[in-house]
Amino acid sequence: MSAKKLTGNEIRQKFLDFYAQREHAILPSASLVPEDPTVLLTIAGMLPFKPIFLGQQPRKYPRATTSQKCIRTNDIENVGRTARHHTFFEMLGNFSFGDYFKPEAIAFAWELSTKTFGLPPDRLVVSVFREDDEAFAIWRDQIGIPAHRIQRMGEEDNFWASGPTGPCGPCSEIYYDFHPELGDENIDLEDDSRFIEFYNLVFMQYNRDAQGNLTPLENRNIDTGMGLERMAQILQKVPNNYETDLIFPIIKTAADIAGIDYGKSDDKTKVSLKVIGDHVRAVANLIADGVTASNVGRGYILRRLIRRVVRHGRLIGISGEFTSKV
């Protein structure tokens, strides 16, 4: 079995179709401007569903699937410098609102990864929350993953929450191994030159209050996130997310305007081109969702992103107006 070379659009469609065939309603992406007042921007695929997880809104469907536009700016300085930090990205997700739970979520994720996307099982390593014996047993006994390829990890890595308060729960992640020749003896999932985490399955079963107390939610839910750009990097066999067909055309346009060749550029120039490729997607999608540049709130985020695009354009020698072209 070998991984299937797919475009970003094909990956998105295959994900949504897979879950639609398993009785999930395909819902459109919500706006980047969230209804949730606790965050400035939509930061995760689950955000539009937070009131359902918290029992504040009735569910319309027991199961849903989306490709959600997201923006996170907490790691903005890493954008372009690492293989996979972004401001804008699409989070593919499948959600259960008090319907299926761990066994089904894990089985679906495994089938999608290995059959639909054709990732070889021996290239996949999974993590579970340190105390989650149930998830560990499902991966080992139901899916058949050797125990040494199921890593137990702490709260920092494997307990997911959308913010300091709100719905949360232990999670289980699937990683792709770029270097299986290094062997199973020294699996270190923190080594991002070897492993990429591409699918996070959150077993959303608690609400955390401002004092940090966990209260079980009325329902046990599933919230997942598969980074579209990450799956594209794996399936398109490129060295980073920026060189996927989702982002590279923007980089190529900027490079053409600057009269440079990305492939022959030094690292500093590549960083600038990657920053432009990343930020332009954030800027275009923020404007499409009605955000205007300003000095405060999300308007300031937009302004900062535009300024960074212009600055990196100047750094690679573009002197005139260029943002509308990219």
The residues that touch ligand GLY, with contacts defined as CB under 6 A, are 44-46, 91, 160, 200, 202, 223, 225
Q: Which is nearer to ligand GLY, 72 or 304 (CB)?
A: 72
Would you say 86 or 308 has its CB closer to ligand GLY? 86
**Which one, 42 or 244, has the nearer CB to ligand GLY?**
42
Smallest gap, in angstroms, from Cβ of residue 258 to ligand GLY? 34
For every residue of 157-226, DSSP letters joined together read HHEEESSSSEEEEEEEEEEEES-GGG-STT--TT-TTTEEEEEEEEEEEEEE-TT--EEEEEEEEEEEEE
**Can you spell out the DSSP letters for 224-268?**
EEEEHHHHHHHHHT-SSGGGSTTTHHHHHHHHHHHT--GGG--HH
Least distance (Å) between residue 216 CB and ligand GLY: 19
Is the CB of 105 or the CB of 306 nearer to ligand GLY? 105
Are 92 and 64 in contact by the 8 Å Cβ rule? The answer is no
Shortest spacing between CB 233 and ligand GLY, in angstroms: 17
Q: Which residue is nearest to ligand GLY (CB)?
A: 225
Backbone angles phi and psi of 90, in degrees to 5 = -105, 130
Least distance to ligand GLY, CB of residue 33, Å: 18
Neighbours of 259 (CB within 10 A): 9
Beta-bridge mates of residue 88? 71
SS3 content of the chain, % helix, strand, coil (to 5): 40, 20, 40
Measured on CA atoms in the order 73, 74, 75, 76, is the torsion positive or negative? Answer: positive
Tell me the backbone φ, ψ of residue 49, rounded to 5 degrees: -100, 0
Least Å distance, CB 203 to ligand GLY, is: 11
Shortest gap between Cβ of 47 and ligand GLY (angstroms)?
9
- Please identify, using beta-carbon distances, which residue of 27 and 91 lies nearer to ligand GLY: 91
> Residue 96 Cβ, how far from ligand GLY at the closest point, in Å?
13
What whole-number distance in Å separates Cα of residue 135 and Cα of residue 151? 11
Integer-rounded Cα Rg, in Å, for the chain is 20
Is the Cβ of residue 50 or residue 270 nearer to ligand GLY in the bound state? 50
Taking the least distance from each CB to ligand GLY, the nearer of 44 and 283 is 44
